[in-house]
Amino acid sequence: MIFWSDKKILITGGAGFFGSQVVNKLLEKGVLKEDIRIPRSREFDLRKWKKCVDVIKDIDIVIHLAAKVGGIGYNQKYPADLFYDNAIIGIQMIEAARQENVEKCVVVGTICAYPKFTPVPFREEELWNGYPEETNAPYGLAKKMLLVQSQAYRQQYGFNSIYLLPVNLYGPGDNFDPASSHVIPALIKKFVEAKKGDSPYVEVWGTGAASREFLYVDDAARGLILATERYNKPDPVNLGSGREITIRDLVVLISELTGYSGEIRWDMTKPDGQPKRCLDVSRAREEFGFEAQMPFKEGLKRTIKWYRKYSGDVDSMGRPEDHC
C-alpha cells in the first residue's frame, strides 16, 4: 500500500471490462474511491486535446486503457476509426501526462501489434520484425506507436512511461455484443443462445486451425498493478498465461461447457486472423513477479455462468471502453 499512498490515479477506460477489474484491485489495495478518476466518454471525448488536459489535472499516475476495439469483423469494417481514435487518444493522453509532470504513465498496448508470422512463443524482441496481421493492422499499429512515444519521452524528458502487451482477455463482464466482441464472448453467446433455442447447428468463422492465448481478466488486472508498482523500464512487457489453444479446440470446449450438442459448421470463407498467438511471459515473471493463476477451463465456466445470469441485460450494456 505504501506505493499507492496519497496517489491520485486516472484510469481511462476505467468503467470498461478490464478497467473495472483494475479499479477493484486498487480498492483492495486500500486506495480510496475518491482518489480514482474515471473519465466517461460521454463527458470527456479524449480525441479532443482540451479534454485530455482537463481530465489529467492534479493526477499522479495515469493508467491508459481506453480504446476502440473489436473482433475480426469489426476490424475489417472500421479500420480508419480504429487507427485514428486509438492513435489520437493515446498520443494526447501521454503528452498531457508529460505536461502535467505525472509521476508515472502505464500504457496498455495490444498483442495485435506483433507481426503476422511471429515465432511462437512471442518474445518482446520480435515486436518490430514484420507487419501485423492485415485484419487488425490499423488497430495494432496505432497502439504500437504509443510504445515509440513512451520510449522517446523517456529518452528526451526522463518521463516514466511503461508499456504492457496483454493477450486477449476474457471473463465475467466481457463484451458480448456480436458486432464488436472477441472470440470467447462471441462463441459463448452463440452456443448459449443455440442451446436455449434448440438450434440444430452453430456456424463458426474460419477453419479452426488458428491458435490463441487467453488471460483471465482478474489475472490481467493483478499483472497491471504489479507492473505499476515495480516496473520502471522502457522495454515492453507481455502479459499472458503462456498457454495456447486452437480455435477448433476452444469451440469444442465451449460447446461442452454450455451443454450444446448440435452440429458445428465452419464457414471457411471467413478469415482465421493471425495464425498463432502465444506469448513468452518470462519478462513479466522476472521483472515484477507476475504469473497467471486462473485455470482456463475454470475461467470459461465462470464467464459462461456470468453470461447466463446477465444475458438479458448484456445487449443494453453497449460496447465497453476497453482493450483488445
CA distance 301 to 304: 5
CA distance 192 to 257: 10
- Output the CA torsion sign for 244, 247, 253, 258: positive
Q: How far apart are the first and last CA of the chain?
A: 29
83 and 141 in contact (C-beta within 8 Å)?
yes
Q: Could you tell me which of 207, 204, 228 has the C-alpha nearest to residue 287?
A: 228
Q: Could you tell me which of 232, 238, 258, 240 has the C-alpha nearest to residue 296?
A: 240
CA distance 22 to 26: 6
Judged by DSSP in three states, 165 sits in strand
- H or E element at residue 195: helix 183-197
Please compute Rg for the chain using Cα positions.
Answer: 19
Q: Could you tell me which of 199, 297, 293 has the C-alpha nearest to residue 252?
A: 297
Q: Which of 74, 114, 139, 231 is catalytic?
A: 139
Angle at 132 between CA 77 and CA 294, to 5 degrees: 90
Q: Active site includes 84? A: no
Point out the residues that are catalytic. 139
